[in-house]
Amino acid sequence: MTGRQRRSTVTFAALALCVAVRLVAAQAPAAPLGIGRPATADEVRALDIDVMPDGRGLPVGRGTPTEGAVIYASKCAACHGANGEGGSAERLVGRNDGDSFAFATNPRLARTIGSYWPYATTLYDYTSRSMPFGQPGTLAPDETYSLVAYLLFRNGVIPEDAVIDKASLPKVAMPARDRFVPDNRDGGSVVR
Amino acid sequence: MSDSSRSARGRPSKVSRRQALLTGAAGLVGAAAAPLEGQTADQAARVRVPADPTKIQGPGGTDVGARSPFERPARVSMGGGARRTSTQTPLQDLTGIITPADLHFERHHAGVPAIDPDRYSLLIHGLVERPMSFTLADLKRFPARSVIRFLECSGNGGRAYRREPADLDVTPQQIDGLTSTSEWTGVPLSTLFREVGASPKAAWFLAEAMDAAVMTRSVPIAKAYDDAMVVYAQNGEAIRPEQGYPVRLFLPGFEGSSNVKWLRRLELADDPFMTREETSKYTDPLPDGTARMFSFVMDAKSVITEPAAPDRLTGPGWWEIRGLAWSGRGRISRVDVSADGGRTWRAATLDEPVLPKCHTRFRLPWRWDGAEAVLMSRATDETGYVQPTTGALMAARGPSTSYHFNNIRAWRVARDGSVRLAGAPA
Quick one: pLDDT at residue B83?
A: 80
With 90 as the cut, is the pLDDT of residue B302 above it?
yes
Q: What angle do CA B191, A185, B161 make, to 5 degrees?
A: 115
Lowest-confidence region among A69-73, B25-29, B420-424: B25-29
Provide the chain A residues 22-41 that lie in CB contact (below 8 A) with chain B: 28-29, 31-33, 35-39
Q: How far is CA A127 from the centre of its chain?
A: 11
- My answer on whether omega of the bond before B353 falls inside 30° of 0, hence cis, is yes
Q: Where are the alpha helices (DSSP H) in chain A?
A: 3-26, 41-47, 65-75, 77-80, 113-116, 120-130, 141-154
Pairwise CA distance, residues B344 & B97, whole Å: 27
- My answer on whether omega of the bond before B246 falls inside 30° of 0, hence cis, is yes
With 60 as the cut, is the pLDDT of residue B26 above it?
no
Quick one: pLDDT at residue A178?
A: 97
| Averaged pLDDT, B375-398 | 97
Give the 3-state secondary structure of residue B12: coil
Quick one: pLDDT at residue B49?
A: 87
Distance (Å) from the C-alpha of residue A27 to the closest C-alpha of chain B?
Answer: 12
Q: Which of A103, A125, A126, A151 to mutate to test the interface with B (most CBs of B within 10 A)?
A: A103
Size of interface A-B (CB pairs under 8 A): 180
Quick one: pLDDT at residue B12?
A: 43
User: In percent, how much of chain B has pLDDT > 90?
Assistant: 82
| Averaged pLDDT, B381-389 | 98
Q: Which of B268, B270, B275, B390 to mutate to test the interface with A (most CBs of A within 10 A)?
A: B275
Quick one: pLDDT at residue B7?
A: 36
| Averaged pLDDT, B164-187 | 93
Choose between B358 and A16: higher pLDDT: B358
> Are the Cβ atoms of B195 and A126 closer than 8 angstroms?
no
Quick one: pLDDT at residue B164?
A: 80
Lowest-confidence region among A47-61, B30-44, B131-145: B30-44
User: In percent, how much of chain B has pLDDT > 70?
Assistant: 88
Quick one: pLDDT at residue B157?
A: 94
Quick one: pLDDT at residue B163?
A: 80
With 60 as the cut, is the pLDDT of residue B33 above it?
no
B199/A contact by beta carbon, under 8 A:
no
Pairwise CA distance, residues B109 & B247, whole Å: 17
Torsion-angle region of B33 (φ positive above 0: left; ψ -120 to 50: alpha; else: beta): beta
Return the closest-CA partner of residue B327 out of B383, B402, B395, B388: B383
Helix pair A65-75, A141-154: axis angle to 10 deg? 100
ipTM summary value: 0.88
| Chain B residue whose CA is closest to A100 | B289
| Chain A residue whose CA is closest to B389 | A191
Return the closest-CA partner of residue B151 out of B41, B232, B55, B260: B260
Q: Which residues of A touch B217 (CB under 8 A)?
A: none
Q: Taking a C-beta distance cutoff of 8 angstroms, is the pair B49, B70 a contact?
A: no
- Chunk chain A into consecutive blocks of 10 residues (it has 192) and report each block's average pLDDT, rounded to whole numbers: 48 51 56 96 98 98 98 98 96 97 96 98 98 96 98 98 98 98 95 95
With 70 as the cut, is the pLDDT of residue B425 above it?
no
Q: Which residues of A touch B398 (CB under 8 A)?
A: 103-105
Q: B74 Cβ partners below 8 Å, 6+ apart?
A: B21, B24, B25, B90, B103
Residue B217: count of CB within 10 angstroms of its CB: 26
Q: Which residues of B touch A31 (CB under 8 A)?
A: 130, 132, 195-197
| Averaged pLDDT, B277-302 | 98
With 90 as the cut, is the pLDDT of residue B410 above it?
yes
| Averaged pLDDT, B234-258 | 98
Quick one: pLDDT at residue A16?
A: 52
> Are the Cβ atoms of B385 and A111 closer than 8 angstroms?
no
- My answer on whether omega of the bond before A132 falls inside 30° of 0, hence cis, is yes
